[in-house]
Structure 1
């Protein structure tokens, strides 16, 4: 699994729950967005984004999210969700996800999310702080992120 998710600095382990199955005996399509959300929050915690939001009132809101289903997942299984930031602009960033099944040993799902920074006090978009940019760069590595900070 480590080799398959080597480009992802944050990996979240999620056990598949029986209740996530649908009538066709595989994980329901909507559940994958919850998996992405769990991975996204793990990433945010790693870069201390939620702690920064408590101090500044500026935090993330989800603008758009997509999912591509490659293989069905069934209970029991354990999933590894890799998350990373692949693109940064002044007021937003793009996260990419890859879900690998322990049982199948393969990628089952890939996804993407556009996250916009929002000032909840002013009720408007906001720029990413320099501290957040520096923290993201430190875990992503130089050259891995396409930056458009204009």
Structure 2
């Protein structure tokens, strides 16, 4: 199976460096011990937040009157390659793929404890004004910093 957002899989794999680990909990599985297919999106969220913290991009509160923009998920996609089971330890890798005026595309890679690719994903994050619900441009310094990380 080939995901449309991946041109050269080996090169795409090599461009990841940041990851966070998660252990598949019992409550995230079905009666066969297989991870529910919705859980990958929760793992993407956790990895994205840790990645933003790592980059020094704060996750501001939407209720703070001083905040001009908050990052929201505009779309999210997951492509499954290998089954995941209860108690598997996954490394969820995260990287910036592209940067636009008010958005960025984030890519994800999940590998199990045997270093096997289990699932991949991507999602668009848009900077939104919490008062108007409209997109707002990323700060120029953030855009430059994020664009320097983007390597597809």
Partner of 2:137: 127
Once the two structures are TM-superposed, the CA of residue 85 in structure 1 deviates from its matched residue by 0.9
CA distance in 2, matches of 1:69, 1:42: 22
Partner of 1:107: 117
Partner of 1:148: none
Once the two structures are TM-superposed, the CA of residue 5 in structure 1 deviates from its matched residue by 5.5
- Secondary structure of 1:86's partner? strand
Q: CA 1:7/1:105 → structure 2, altered by over 3 Å: closer, same or farther?
A: same
CA distance in 2, matches of 1:123, 1:51: 17
Contact 1:50 1:59 in 2 (8 A): no
User: For residues 19-34 of structure 1, what are the structure 2 equivalents within 5 Å?
Assistant: 19-34=27-42
Q: How many residues align?
A: 138
Contact 2:99 2:147 in 1 (8 A): no
User: For residues 50-69 of structure 1, what are the structure 2 equivalents within 5 Å?
Assistant: 50=58, 56-69=67-80
Once the two structures are TM-superposed, the CA of residue 23 in structure 1 deviates from its matched residue by 2.4
Partner of 2:25: 17
1:40 paired with 2:41, answer no
Partner of 1:95: 106
Once the two structures are TM-superposed, the CA of residue 134 in structure 1 deviates from its matched residue by 3.2
Regions of 4+ moved over 4 Å: 51-55
Contact 2:105 2:122 in 1 (8 A): yes
- Extract unaligned runs of 5+ from structure 2: 1-11
TM-score (norm 1): 0.81
Once the two structures are TM-superposed, the CA of residue 17 in structure 1 deviates from its matched residue by 1.1
**Aligned residue among 71, 79, 84 for 1:73:** 84
CA distance in 1, matches of 2:101, 2:37: 32
CA distance in 2, matches of 1:51, 1:132: 13
